[in-house]
Amino acid sequence: MRIVTLNVNGIRAAARRGFFAWLIQQDFDVICLQEIKALPEQLTDPIFYPLGYQSYFFPAEKKGYSGVALYTRYTPTNVIKGLGWDLADKEGRYIEAEFGDLSVVSLYLPSGTSSVERQACKYQFMDFFNEHLQRIIKSKRHYVLCGDWNIAHTKNDLKNCE
């Protein structure tokens, strides 16, 4: 199974930049997207539903913000939207597709760069998600975790760093 993950920084903007034309030329089975910044009712153009792929969206409640999606050539046995936790779910941070004993996750962790409050939210998310990861380990399922973790290893990994 070929899996790819991308932060599209707006799925509609990505479409205008040729994302879907590029996508159909690839041979991916599952595409995990982060930061789609759109509600499903804003995605009525057929371009957002490429032939041969099923699409699953988990947007943020707030228009133009956050959100994750999955495109897959295979029919999942189950799709889980959200973690069952308001901080994550209102911002559309997690979607999981189950294919038998394999789960593929598209995850978009909060960034803490905009304010002290958002950094606190990021720490809360990381604590909650650590507990989720412990449950994943105990589940004995196979997981592929894809996403934008918003964590930089070194200062060189940061955009606009001086």
The helix (H) or strand (E) run that includes residue 33 is strand 30-34
As a residue count, the chain comes to 162
Phi, psi at residue 114, to the nearest 5°?
Answer: -85, -25
d(CA 133, CA 137): 6
The helix or strand, by DSSP H or E, that contains position 144, with its residue range, turns out to be: strand 142-148
Determine whether 148 is an active site residue. yes
CA dist., res. 69 & res. 77, Å (int): 17
Q: Which two three-digit tokens encode residue 76?
A: 């999942």
What distance in Å separates the CA atoms of residue 11 and residue 141, rounded to the nearest whole number?
30
**Selected catalytic residue, list 27, 29, 148, 157:** 148
- Rounded Cα distance between 134 and 56, Å, is 25
Residues known to be catalytic? 148
